[in-house]
Amino acid sequence: MSTAVRFAPSPTGRIHVGNVRLALVNWLFARKTGGTFLFRLDDTDEERSTQEFADGIARDLTWLGLDWDRFARESDRYPRYDEAAAALKAAGRLYPCYETPEELSLKRASLVSQGRPPLYDRAALRLTDADRARLEGEGRKLHWRFKLTATPVEWTDLVRGPVRFDGAALSDPVLIREDGRPLYTLTSVVDDADFAITHIIRGEDHVANTAVQIQIFEALGAAVPGFAHLPLLTDAGGQGLSKRLGSLSIGSLRDDDGIEPMALSSLLAKLGTSDPVEARLTLDELVAEFDLSKVSRATPKFDPEDLARLNARLLHLTPFERVADKLAALGLAGADAAFWEAVRPNLARLADAADWWAVTHAPVTPLVEDAAFLAQAAALLPEEPWDLGTWGAWTAAVKGATGRKGKELFLPLRRALTGRDHGPELKNLLPLIGRARALRRLNGETA
């Protein structure tokens, strides 16, 4: 049986690095095992789910290169959830309850004050037909709970190892709300069963949900998938990311921070594993290296500064053919391999290439401190054609004529030619600047 995994976000906001890490791990697992990847929208929260967010999630996955083999949305499957609920009712596993949210809150508070776990007391199971008729006559709206068995729930987690829950220590979950809509705990199980999901890879905050959902799988007569629960990301200080998710949304990292998709994937694929984090140019490389057994139970820390450094390393490794279209999209018409090779060692973001394009192809106001020295240098400027050896030959001649060397020789030339103190090697930039423009800059002209 081939493997099948799913990524099932709720379209109630923009996805962030924590969501994408789970999407990426699922996708890598599917591609490594020759299985399928289902992109499913868990959109039964109709008040908060929007098509705009759904489209944004799809756009972010596509930007990362995470294609999907199948697509589904829960809002299309309400009749199927009704069928599953009817089957559970017929089996005596789904029972009606009438408590209001306020009554339930008081019950939980009372149990907690006694030092007891806030488990539902199954009071609804003790109601008589007359009791139910009276409550419904009062206008009470019923919700439906799943009746758990007291048997232990056990599985071997692909990350956590053996896991065991005492069924008697779990609270019967609500599966259907007062308005008749099914909740995630039910819909997710029905979808995973119907789409023959073989492995559910998600965050460790779902471990208790898994214990409950395993019993629902069994009650529906469905095969129970394998499970892997990954530790949740924290920031560099070990704090949860929940308060920072706006700045760590994929849209923000892409549009505001200029992060490359493979930089983000290279980092998230290795965070929390025994592998070193290194820049990879393709998802195929990450697939070849992927091994779920390398995921540690230790809490992985996500640091935006690490991502920025990895983004720079990725650009420094990227060949011209992989960025040619992106450079054109930045408006750098005519940018070629020579330009890219010259500037990529100094890029932190791809957009920075536009700054160096301006240096080599647009007017620059030179920084002139010693006009006499620059005039001497200008007089020694070789005739074209120029190549990568021109800079060395020219500066050797200037050194011989002026006696200058080191910083005293090179920095004034850099400032005049580029208007900056730092940047790419001038042996690479000089042929791009050209003799006419270089001569004017050495003479103190904006050129």
Within 13 Å of residue 19, how many CA atoms lie on the same side as its CB? Answer: 25
Q: Are 331 and 361 in contact (CB under 8 A)?
A: no
CB within 8 Å of 401: residues ≥ 6 apart: 376, 380
Question: What b/e readout covers 69-102, taking b as 16+ CB neighbours within 10 angstroms?
Answer: eeebbbbebeeebeebbeebeeeebbbbbbbeee
Which amino acid belongs to residue 383?
A: E
Q: Are 80 and 47 in contact (CB under 8 A)?
A: no
Cα–Cα distance, 225 to 5 (Å, whole number):
10
Cα–Cα distance, 140 to 97 (Å, whole number):
10
Give the number of residues written for the chain.
447
Q: Which of 49, 63, 52, 50 is nearest to 20 (CA)?
A: 63
Cα–Cα distance, 253 to 20 (Å, whole number):
12
Residue 136 to residues 32, 106, 131, 132, 194: CA-CA distances in angstroms? 54, 21, 9, 6, 34
Q: Which of 58, 33, 64, 63 is nearest to 43 (CA)?
A: 58
Cα–Cα distance, 418 to 343 (Å, whole number):
13
Nearest 10 degrees: Cα torsion 53, 55, 59, 61: 70
The two tokens of residue 389 are: 């050896």
Q: Which residues are annotated as part of the binding site for ATP?
A: 243
Cα 334 from chain centre: 33
Q: Which residues are annotated as part of the binding site?
A: 243
